[in-house]
Amino acid sequence: MHPTTSPIKKPFTLLLRVRYGECDAQQVVFNARYADYIDIAMTEYFRAAVGGFQELLDKGLDSQVVSLYIDWHSSAKFDDVLAITVSSTKVGNTSYGFEIVITDFKTQKLIAKSTTTYVMVDTQNYQKTSVPDWLREKLSSSPEIALINQAGVGV
């Protein structure tokens, strides 16, 4: 039996600038865009921690989101720089989970928190399968790259 919890000691952070088209008539980021931000951060996390989603596909594996919860604490606006921090919270037998925290990079104001759970599937019939040991190890340790700056700000 594998351990069910294995938090990353050092989280991964993506810096992303809010674009004009991501805002709504209220001049704040439209709520559905936060799921996009989380997906972008998870894609970059997987690139940093695992070598990218293609590493899974090359081994006949894939992962699918089975739950995504977002709690909003404040709003982001056009041209704000968001710090999206990803931390592994659980690696189970067939699933793994993350906490994603979105803050304003400049003010450190909390904007949103998310919990996201993925299930491991095989690419033959897309049935759930065990998380392989090599992936379990990578998800249970800090990624080699801890920060990706897509916002173009000095850090």
Compute the mean pLDDT over every residue in the chain, rounded to the nearest whole number.
93
- Kindly tell me if the per-residue pLDDT of 1 is higher than 50: no
The answer to whether residue 116 is domain-embedded is yes
pLDDT of 12: 95
Mean of pLDDT values over 18-40: 97
The answer to the question of residue 1 being in a domain is: no
In this prediction the pTM is 0.90
Other CB atoms within 10 Å distance of the CB of residue 154: 4
Domain count for the chain: 1
Asked whether residue 111 is domain-assigned, the answer is: yes
Residue 22: inside a domain, yes or no?
yes
* Side-chain half-sphere exposure of 37, counting CA atoms within 13 A: 33
6 belongs to a structural domain: no
Output the pLDDT for position 9: 61
What is the residue range of 25's domain? 12-149
Q: Helix, strand, coil shares of the chain as percentages rounded to 5?
A: 20, 35, 40
**CATH number, domain with residue 59:** 3.10.129.10
Position 50 in a domain: yes
Q: What is the pLDDT of residue 155?
A: 81
Distances (CA, A) of 133 to 94, 128, 136: 11, 15, 5
Is 51 within a domain?
A: yes
Q: Examine residue 7 and state whether it is found in any structural domain, yes or no.
A: no
DSSP H helices in 50-132: 53-58
Angle at 88 between CA 95 and CA 8, to 5 degrees: 135
